[in-house]
Amino acid sequence: MKLEFGFGTGVQTVEVPDRNLIGELHAGPVPAGLTGDAEVRRALAAPIGTPCLRDIVRPGETVAIVTSDITRPMPTAVVMPSVLDELYAGGIKPEDITLVFALGSHRRHTAEEQRKLAGERAFNEIRCVDSDPDDCVSYGTTSLGTPVDITRIVAEADRRICLGNIEYHYFAGYSGGAKAIMPGVSTRAAIQANHSRMVLPECHAGNLEGNPLRQDIEEAGAMVGIDFILNVVLSEHKEILKAVAGDAVLAHREGCRFLDTLYRKELKAPADIVIVSQGGAPKDLNLYQTQKALDNAAHAVKKGGIIILIGSCREGMGEKTFEEWMKSAATAESLIERIKKEFRLGGHKAAAIALVLQKAEIMLVSELEDDFVRSVFLTPKHSVQEALDDAFRKLGPEATVLSMPYGGSTLPMVVGS
């Protein structure tokens, strides 16, 4: 069978014998229903596990709304009008509301970036600020020893509302929920302590129960107190398909279940060879972005198997710290040891690649120089066909093959794994 994979602005094709191909993973069909602001209003009118937001707040209370920063696809500008309407219906005044952009360890926003994120109405009606890791209130530590130090404007508010989008997260299980608090409005020390657990086997995409990193996040959220969440699930075109509102855990779990109906794909058995692409430009501009598809593919490959990762990477590695960690490491295993001691954004992606390399060989079809690819512990290939032919030589002509043409969006899970 002839298969096509996005590669930059073009495609890569490969012939896979029918007898070897065990499946092609695509996102499921989107159910008919409300979308966008209409779906947000529906969710706010039918919260899960709590009263409506207007019935929670009281006149005279201060409200902190925590939302994502510019590095996340959360459509804050779309949902804020409905959230504000709810708060005003509950008697809250505009001057008592603050929209806080959760920076984690990311850079601060410009005023124009804040305006774009918040939307014109919210930016003009209420105060909009970035979280400040240097001005925090301490709540102590979680049972795992993570410091719970929360930016003051959030900690001292009478009510806390968390916004976010839900997608698969490669060590917290899913984004959304209490992640707005930890690491969103926490300190670098908290992020270091929490995220250093990413190397534990239970900390992987699609896993919530028994995931110590996610449990740590939700314990921190409970210590601070989250009165209400509004989370959304987005299409590949970043449109709101589903909104969930209410309790920080119960509503979040409902959103995760919906995400699974679209993007979680069950397999009866892992494959010897997984061919995976981000789907082409702009998602494969660099290795930093292409890594997401790699991490999802790792759930579908056998121990000792081969992942053929397809990504143009025409802009190189894509992130300075990521590149420095990859280029300076003596071995892939040393990256895992380093992240345990020193969590750094960028470095965590290097460690994630190293974790996949413990399970499978990674052949990279890209525009990067061969010697450079080898220096970062990957096997360079010039075409998918060349990579597949070599994989068959290594694993035998009967090796099974799984195709993931949109690897960043689909999460394979072997049943019973």
CA atoms within 13 A of residue 140's CA, in its CB half-sphere = 9
Phi-psi region of 58 (alpha: psi -120 to 50; beta: other; left: phi over 0): beta
Domains assigned to the chain: 2-28+268-414 (3.90.226.30), 36-263 (3.40.50.11440)
For 250-272, the pLDDT digits (tens) are: 999 999 999 999 999 999 999 99
Residue 333 pLDDT: 96
CB 293 within 8 A of CB 309: yes
- What is the distance between the alpha carbons of residues 15 and 406, in angstroms, rounded to a whole number? 18
Residue 304 half-sphere exposure, CB side, CA atoms within 13 Å? 4
What would the pLDDT profile of 88-100 be if each residue is shown by its tens digit?
999 999 999 999 9
Q: What are the residue ranges in the chain where pLDDT is below 50?
A: none
> Which pair of tokens denotes residue 185?
């409005």
What pLDDT is recorded for position 416? 66
